[in-house]
Structure 1
Amino acid sequence: MTRTSWHITRTDSAFTLSRRLPARFDVAAETVLPAADPLRLAHQIRQDLWRQLQRLRGFAPVVEITAAGQGLRVRAGGQVAGRVPANAAAQITEVLENPARRARWIRHASRGQGTSLPDSRADAKDSHRIAAKIDMKSESAS
């Protein structure tokens, strides 16, 4: 059984994806990205952030996304149980500013926009039903 206990917190101005509540930034970096689906974007960033910092003891990733003009302001980092290494913020900045990763994130988070696919901001509990509906439509189109 997979662990899917990611906490999604939405306010009028921000979207936050975190492993623990309350979300806490012991270390963080920021960037601005073009407009895209915040849930898909947050998960992609979280995955790459975890891959980079998984050796940091007690690290729990947090990604916060807010609207910034025509784009999105992303603050990524997380909670660390213990001492935060001096190079942790630089490692996060390296992940956020990597051109190949940024292109992949935007490509993934923009997928399906402008079509009749369901909004991926739906609660995570409904994602299996949404996927089943999409699969049923593709199978019945013969």
Structure 2
Amino acid sequence: MLREGATLTLARHLPARFDIGAEAAFPPMGRLRLAQQVRQDMWRALRDVRGFSPAVRVTAQDGALLLRAGGRVAGPAPKAVLEARIAALLADPEKRARWARFAGAGA
């Protein structure tokens, strides 16, 4: 984990590398807890991708959070397909609600 001002990066390998990724905005909540939950669900969704190492970067900006989820992929991978899977994960309303509850949104 790396904290730099308003940005928190959660990754197994630092510096984090985003060979693939997608972004989403979130209301204010706990950055670390949000990053942990997104990273866990992203790993579950992409565990079949050989050489994938997930990374999540959360930046507090203008009263909201900007989250970038993705990571490094060792070897060839269908970038557009993987980015679409990550974007779908970030847009899933049930997961977003669970992440917000876990991270204390509105608290």
Question: What TM-score, normalized to structure 2?
Answer: 0.94
Which residue in the other structure is 2:98 paired with?
Answer: 104
Q: CA deviation at 1:13?
A: 2.7
Greater strand content: 2
Find out whether 1:72 has 2:65 as its counterpart. yes
2:41 corresponds to which letter in structure 1? D
Structure 2: runs of 5 or more not aligned: none
Which residue in the other structure is 2:76 paired with?
Answer: 83
Is the contact between residue 26 and residue 84 of structure 1 (CA under 8 Å) also seen in structure 2? no
RMSD between aligned alpha carbons? 1.1
1:98 corresponds to which letter in structure 2? D
Query: Once the two structures are superposed, what CA deviation does each residue of 1:12-46 show, in whole Å capped at 9, x if it has no partner?
Result: 13100001122100000000001111111000000
Query: Once the two structures are superposed, what CA deviation does each residue of 1:61-110 show, in whole Å capped at 9, x if it has no partner?
Result: 00000012121000000000011213000000010000000000000000
Q: How does 1:1-142 map to 2 (within 5 A)?
A: 8-85=1-78, 86-110=80-104, 113=107
Query: Which deviates more, 102-111 or 55-64?
Result: 102-111
Structure 1: runs of 5 or more not aligned: 1-7, 114-142
* Structure 2 CA distance for aligned equivalents of residues 38 and 12 of structure 1: 12
Identity of aligned residues (%): 49
Q: Which runs of 4+ in 1 moved over 6 A?
A: none
The structure with higher relative contact order (CA 8 Å, sep 6+) is: 2
Larger-gyration structure (1/2): 1
Question: What TM-score, normalized to structure 1?
Answer: 0.71
Aligned residues: 105
* Structure 2 CA distance for aligned equivalents of residues 31 and 21 of structure 1: 22
* Structure 2 CA distance for aligned equivalents of residues 74 and 96 of structure 1: 9
